[in-house]
Copies of this chain bind each other. A is one copy, B any other.
Amino acid sequence: MDKIKILVADDHQVIIDGLEAIISTTEHLEFIGGASNGKEVISKVKSQPVDLILMDINMPEMDGLECTAYLSKNYPNIRVIALSMHDNPRLAKRMIKNGAFGFLLKNSSKANILTAISEVMQGRNFFDPMLMSTFFDADNKKTSSSFSKKDLLTKREIQIIQLICQEKTTIEIADELSISTHTVESHRGNIMLKLELKNSVGLVKWAIQNEVIEL
Contact = CB atoms under 8 A, between A and B. Distances in A.
B129 A93 contact: no
Nearest to A94: B211
Contacts of A127: 129, 132-133, 135-136
A140 interface: yes
Contacts of A129: 119, 124-127
A90 interface: yes
B198 A167 contact: yes
Contact of A96 (B96, B126, B140, B215): B140
A189 interface: no
Interface in A127-161: 127, 129, 132-133, 135-137, 139-140, 143-144
A97 B202 CA distance: 24
A165 interface: yes
Interface in A150-179: 164-165, 167, 169
Nearest to A165: B201
A39 interface: no
B204 A215 contact: no
A208 interface: yes
Interface in A192-215: 197-205, 208-209, 214-215
Contacts of A139: 93, 97
Interface in A82-102: 90, 92-93, 96-97
B140 A214 contact: no
A203 B167 CA distance: 10
B167 A199 contact: yes
A129 B164 CA distance: 36
Contact of A167 (B90, B132, B167, B201): B201
Lowest 4 A-B CB distances belong to which pairs?
A: A125-B133, A127-B132, A204-B204, A167-B202
Interface of A: 90, 92-93, 96-97, 119, 124-127, 129, 132-133, 135-137, 139-140, 143-144, 164-165, 167, 169, 197-205, 208-209, 214-215
